[in-house]
Amino acid sequence: MSIQETEVLVVGAGQAGIAMSEHLGAQGVPHLVVERDRIAERWRSWRWDSLVANGPAWHDRFPGLEFDVDPDGFAGKEDVADYLVAYAEKVDAPIRTGVEVRSVQKLHKRLGFRVETSDGVIDARYVVAATGAFQKPVLPSLVPDDAGLHQIHSSGYRNPRQLPEGAVLVVGAGSSGVQIADELRRSGRRTYLAVGPHDRPPRSYRGRDFCWWLGVLGKWDAAAPPRGAEHVTIAVSGAHGGHTVDFRDLAADGITLLGRAESFDDGVLSFAADLRANVENGDTNYLSMLDEADAYVTRNGLDLPEEPEARIIGPDPKCMTHPIRELDLAAAGITSVIWAVGFSFDYGWLKVDAFDDSGKPRHQRGVSTEPGIYFLGLPWQSRRGSSFIWGVWHDAKFIADQIAIQRSYLAHHTPALASH
């Protein structure tokens, strides 16, 4: 059996793997990136046709390259993929595409790991799992397969034309759910949207995008989510030039809002009595950000235009004052359900001691409990920005530093360890 060798094997060539390669290259660390599909594949084939980035092009990018679109505009999903491919070329990332990692195991009585791939065996002293948090679409089993409904995950949604005739229920009101529901409603579909707990920052306030506000207020750098808000999703949109997500506006436009989907029985879906609370908590989050922004302006004597109209909250729609708790899907004409409830990890190939009992990575800032194994692209890996394009770049820098530190220990007076 021929075995290839590399110092660091990076698994995955999305933004995380590319950033990792840049920083390893800058440190002169020999490495190889393997990707089972194409570079930045998720941005091409796991996103709907009309998706644009949630943040403006000046912000949602790596420091070393600007987008070829208006900096205040929102790059389309193909623009993002093209950008990442161009970036990989710019940093000369040694990426092998079409190679799937099937298992990573600790080498017996030797430093490093044996990596079985679809293209042979690779021994690596260090492995970075840069496959991130968006690997397995979460598809709840709430509504049975034989319920006669077309059920898909948001990652399988492309455009309204792909769905059978009829009304659509979108479950989940983070950035994906609200944008998909809005697109369906605009296409003339009767649309229902199940809304859970969420934050909804203003798209912009006093002339600055919310990405700017989160930056100057230090919120992208927050090390942990606020207590009790671990599962709160964020509802933002760059669609149609970017606008604040406002659930009352969505309802006024014709979308029927519902609480969290809870149970299904004989064609009837039941919803929690939490719609009003979820929307009002979102309002509180929204208003508190305006307060913090105002305080920042005052404290620093900035000359940013006042925007009192941003504080106007519209009247509650009927679907909030008289919430629907039970919906007979057939009677409502619903033929499709889109589950926009997120993704989970898929580390089935990583057979090392770096996971807790529930299968979650055990790590500190990406440095796992199995020496030599590193994670990248996890939500809140080191900060709020970690799973986003601009944040993962900084985490990759940290991981490259940790690998360089480990290499320097091994190189120090231990020639027997310095090579495989």
Ligand X SMILES: Cc1cc2nc3c(=O)[nH]c(=O)nc-3n(C[C@H](O)[C@H](O)[C@H](O)COP(=O)(O)OP(=O)(O)OC[C@H]3O[C@@H](n4cnc5c(N)ncnc54)[C@H](O)[C@@H]3O)c2cc1C
Binding site residues, ligand X, CB under 6 A? 11-17, 34-37, 41-43, 47, 53-55, 60, 100-101, 130-132, 134-135, 176, 349, 377, 387-389
Q: Work out how close the CB of 403 gets to ligand X at its nearest, in angstroms, rounded to a whole number.
A: 18
Q: Quick one: 135 or 369, whose CB is closer to ligand X?
A: 135
Q: Work out how close the CB of 189 gets to ligand X at its nearest, in angstroms, rounded to a whole number.
A: 20
Residues 409 and 403: their CA atoms lie apart, in Å, by 10
Q: Which two tokens stand for residue 136?
A: 């397995």
Residues 23 and 401: their CA atoms lie apart, in Å, by 8
**Counting beta carbons within 10 angstroms of the beta carbon of residue 267, is it exposed (0 to 12), middle (13 to 18) or buried (19 or more)?**
middle
Q: Work out how close the CB of 133 gets to ligand X at its nearest, in angstroms, rounded to a whole number.
A: 7
Phi, psi dihedral angles at 299 (to 5 degrees): -60, -35
Q: Work out how close the CB of 266 gets to ligand X at its nearest, in angstroms, rounded to a whole number.
A: 33
Q: Quick one: 101 or 257, whose CB is closer to ligand X?
A: 101
Q: Work out how close the CB of 307 gets to ligand X at its nearest, in angstroms, rounded to a whole number.
A: 24
**Rounded-to-10 torsion of CA 403, 405, 407, 410:** -140
How many separate helices (H) and strands (E) can be counted in the chain?
10, 23
Q: Work out how close the CB of 185 gets to ligand X at its nearest, in angstroms, rounded to a whole number.
A: 18
Range 348-358 burial, b when 16+ CB lie within 10 A, else e: ebbbbebbeee
**Counting beta carbons within 10 angstroms of the beta carbon of residue 228, is it exposed (0 to 12), middle (13 to 18) or buried (19 or more)?**
exposed
Candidates 75, 116, 112; CA nearest to 99 is 116
Q: Which two tokens stand for residue 308?
A: 């009192």
Q: Which residue is nearest to ligand X (CB)?
A: 14
Q: Work out how close the CB of 163 gets to ligand X at its nearest, in angstroms, rounded to a whole number.
A: 18
Q: Work out how close the CB of 389 gets to ligand X at its nearest, in angstroms, rounded to a whole number.
A: 4
H or E segment to which residue 76 belongs: none
Q: Quick one: 149 or 340, whose CB is closer to ligand X?
A: 340
Q: Work out how close the CB of 122 gets to ligand X at its nearest, in angstroms, rounded to a whole number.
A: 12
Q: Quick one: 80 or 319, whose CB is closer to ligand X?
A: 80
Q: Quick one: 195 or 327, whose CB is closer to ligand X?
A: 195
Q: Quick one: 319 or 403, whose CB is closer to ligand X?
A: 403
The residue behind tokens 């499709």 is 336
Q: What are the angstrom distances between the C-alpha of 237 and each of 42, 166, 202, 209, 256?
A: 19, 25, 10, 12, 19
Q: Quick one: 46 or 271, whose CB is closer to ligand X?
A: 46
H or E segment to which residue 61 belongs: none
Q: Quick one: 186 or 351, whose CB is closer to ligand X?
A: 351
Q: Quick one: 45 or 288, whose CB is closer to ligand X?
A: 45
Contacts for 216 with CB less than 8 Å, ≥ 6 apart: 296
Residues 378 and 387: their CA atoms lie apart, in Å, by 6
